Each structure stands twice: as C-alpha cells, then as structure tokens.
Chain A
Amino acid sequence: MVTDRIVVLGAGTGGTLIANRLRRRYADDRMAITVVDQDDRHVYQPGLLFVPFGLLRSDEIVKPRHEQLHDGIVFHQSGVDSVRIADDEVHLSDGSVLGYDVLIVATGAQLLPGETEGMTGPGWMENVFTFYSPEGAAALHRALEQFPGGRLVINVVDMPIKCPVAPLEFAFLADWYFHERGIRDAVEITYVTPLDAAFTKPVAAEALGGLLAEKGIELVTEFNTGEVDGAGGRLVSYDEREVPFDLLVTVPVHGGADFVARSPGLGDDLNFVPTDPHTLQSEAAPNIFVLGDAADVPTSKAGSVTHFEGEVLEENIVRFLASEPLDASFDGHTNCFIETGFHKALLIDFNYDTEPLRGHFPGRAGPMPLLKESRLNHLGKLMFQPLYWHALLPGRGLPGITPAMSMAGKKRPSDEETS
C-alpha cells in the first residue's frame, strides 16, 4: 500500500479544517498528514472585533492549535524556511526537512505595520492601534476605556485585508460604545479608506455608506495613507491630504508569509500565492494547493471563504492523488455577518460573479435579511464562535449553507426596480 505524504503549512482555519477533512477521508496507513505552524496559539479571528469594546477577552478567543487537529495528524511546531518546489521538500526553521506528495499552503496573511512610514514609530500602541492582533485588540480596549472624547479615526491603509468589513464594523460598534458610555457627542468618528466608497461593490457600498451617514460617521474616500504621525496626531496621504486624530485605529497593509519570498517561483510581489480561483491548485506546481488567505484568488480574505474552499479542495486532492482531472470548482462564495451596533447586524452573501445583494437568507423563506440590520443576524454572529470550534475546524458543513452560493432569496438591482 502506498502512503501519500501530505504536508500542510499553517494550522489556522484552513490548515486545520483541511487536515481534519483528509484525516477523515483516508486511513492512517494510506495517508500521512503533517501540519506545521510556528506557534501553538489558534486565534478565533472574528472575535478580535469584540475585544476592544470589552465584549470578549483576548484569552477567550485563543486555544491551542494542536488540540483542534484530529488524532492521527502530526503537529510539527516550527517556522518555515522555504519550499523547494523542484525537490518536493519543505525546509523548516528548526532544520528538519519534510518531503511531500501534496503540499497545502495555508499560512494566511500577516500584518505589515512596518511598511507604512511612521506607523510603528512614536505613538504605536499609545494613540495608534490595530485590533487585528490579540495584543493590539487588548491594548485598544484599555485605550477606549480611558478615551475622554475627541477624534477617533478608523483607517484602512491598503487592500487586500482580512475581513474587509471588519473596520466598518469597528466604526459602527464605536458609535454604539460611546453612546453607552454617554459621551457620543464628544467623539468625532471618521472612516478613512483607499476605496472610492465605503465598500468595493456598489449595492453593499450604498447600504454601508448609508449606515455610516445615519450614525454620524464621516467618510473619507480615496485616501492612500503614506505616513502615520503618532506624535503629531496626523494621518497623511501620498497626495498630501491630512486627517487629524486623537486615537487612530488602523488596519496595516497585509502580505503573505515570509517564507513565500524565500521560495523561488511560489509567490507574487506581496507574497501571496498565485492560485487557480476554481480548482485552488497553485500556479507554481501541480502538487501544491493553496487554501484561505494565502491565495491570491479574487474574493474576500475571510474564514467563510476558507470554509467553503475546504470542501472543494478536499475533492480536488482526492482526484489529484487518483490522477483524475480536478473538476471540483470553487465559485468564490463568501458569507459575512456585519455588526452594526445596538445588538443588530447585517448579512452579506456573494461570490466571484454576484455582488452582495438584498433579499433573504438562506433562500426565499430564510429568516435572515441580507444587507439589512436585524437582531437575528447579530445572534447569528454570536452563535458563530461555538460553530467555528466545533463544526468548521473539524471540517463539517454548516447548517443550511452550501459551499456553492445560491441565488434563492436574492434580489438583483433590476428586480428591485420592477417590484
């Protein structure tokens, strides 16, 4: 019996769920699965949004990575030095070398605050924060508690970023938070984005831009951040516009993992891995596949995408090992709850070809309204954490949601005009 060697780089959402799926699919003597990660802390990243507002503690959203992996999966804790594509080998920072028959790159996206002039200089973690890391989110919580009022600026430096709606959610929750503290009138909230609207796609941009206006949050668009001046409290764009702040909540630029740059032929300029958007096979080699944020596929970097990709990737790896054509196809399906404060949330559901639309979910009779605030959407968002640990990471389906996006219940703008 041939034992296929599967090496998975990264034990986050994607690496964990694909390792668990493959372990369930194949007997131990048929497939050896090794998962590599540099540390043993698995962060429930959607929870980071709630930490600054004291709704979750940072220790409540972290669990050991190895405990999320099923029996019969080897967890190897080490950084990755490089992938030698021609030799089918991964060289690890601890000196060991792992040969593979199939390699799955699931090392996600990392924050690169050092790439923006001044961001990590004076003021970093004092009046300049990011909530995209557990440490940053916890530090921001303390800063928000002590914030006496003034100018709060929320800033996206550049795309792509993980969970592109998260900074908008932060703005909505900040509005709610300062209402609760009774000082909303003393806080000026500004949302600064490099995009030409609140969001990338027209229907969602209109709905989300409308919500910003309703909540008295100022929107500054097409602002390409060139410099953060923490000491002077100024955000400066490349074309020399300025936005003053007392407290800056920024989303730093993102890039792929560092080892990608040390692996000739694997990645692009930003260290993301060029990947077929439908089969999830890398362009670098037929036996290298990519899952989640590490891929350059044109959809959101979000856990729901990784979850939907997981089922497609499992099928394609089975086919690849059987020397069959890769006919499982990912459609870019993304599904995100968007917290809007005051115990409400929106929901968006879209794919490569269909932008987020209004309507109902799941299906025509679904109880959750799309692109419209509701309490049930908020409850859905809260319910998601246990589902993440107990259904999504083990590689099971989610109730009522298929990997392929469904048009049932969605209204195209042309339908709305006629109705």
Chain B
Amino acid sequence: MSTQTIAGTDVELNDEGFFVHPEQWSDAIGVEIAKAAGIDPMTDRHWQVVHYMRRQYLDTGAAPSIRALGKASGVPVKELYQLFPKGPAKLAAKIAGIPKPRGCI
C-alpha cells in the first residue's frame, strides 16, 4: 500500500495501483490516472465506461467483468479494447478509482 498525491489530493493505492478508498476519487483524479496510462484525452465514451463501472461498484460492491461491461455499459467489447488497450476491465477500474474486478475461478 502507498499514499500518492494525484491532482492535488492524497489517495491510498494498493500494490497493483488500485484505490483502497474509492471515496477519495474525483473526475480530475481519473483524468490524471488515465494520462499516466497513455489515455489522453478522456473522451465521452471513456467517461461512459468509467462512470458506469463506478456506479456498478458502488451499487453492488463488485466491479463488473469485461463481458458484463460489454452487455450493460452501452459500449461493445471490441470498442472497450480500443478505448482501454490490453485489459479494459482492469484499466477502467483503475481510472474509476475502484478495486480490481474480481477474477473468476
């Protein structure tokens, strides 16, 4: 665990860079994390996914999987990979300031 200052706010991140306290997050922080991951600028489509993930997490206590995102976020899986290269669910969760999506067994 480490404390970092992002967009002027102190936030706690775990070893993999995910938020420990999602309530420390703001849109401005999301922009900074995205920039560090090579996503600049954050488009409306990016925000649609990030806000959907955050809402899902706050409602259900779990970050949605990539398949659930593709079905319910309004952004198809193929586009998710274009918006958030490599691992869309993980990267979007990082930008959204929520814990890592639970891996399946």
Q: Which residues of A line the B interface, CB within 8 A?
A: 158-160, 164, 195, 200-201, 222, 224, 226, 238-239, 253, 268-270, 298-300
Contacts and interface: CB of A to CB of B under 8 A. Distances in A.
A253 B87 contact: no
Given A239-B85, A268-B68, 10 more contacts: A200-B104, A200-B105, A224-B66, A224-B81, A226-B78, A238-B78, A239-B86, A269-B68, A269-B71, A270-B71
Contacts of B105: 159-160, 164, 200-201, 298-300
Interface in B31-77: 64, 66-68, 71-72, 77
Nearest to A240: B81
Chain B interface size, as a band, is 10 to 19
Nearest to A227: B78
Contacts of A200: 103-105
Contact of B81 (A239, A253, A300): A239
Given A238-B78, A238-B81, A270 B68 contact: yes
Contacts, number: 43
B65 to A, nearest CB: 8
B77 A160 contact: no
Contacts of B72: 269
Contact of A158 (B64, B67, B85): B67
Contacts of B87: 222
A391 B73 CA distance: 45
21 contacts: A159-B103, A159-B105, A160-B105, A164-B105, A200-B105, A222-B86, A224-B66, A224-B77, A226-B77, A226-B78, A226-B81, A238-B77, A238-B80, A239-B81, A239-B85, A239-B86, A253-B67, A269-B71, A269-B72, A298-B105, A300-B105
Contacts of B85: 239
Nearest to A334: B105
Contacts of B71: 269-270
Listed residue (A200, A224, A268, A298) with the most chain B CB atoms within 10 angstroms of its CB: A224
Nearest to B80: A238
Listed residue (A238, A269, A298) with the most chain B CB atoms within 10 angstroms of its CB: A238
Contacts of B68: 268-270
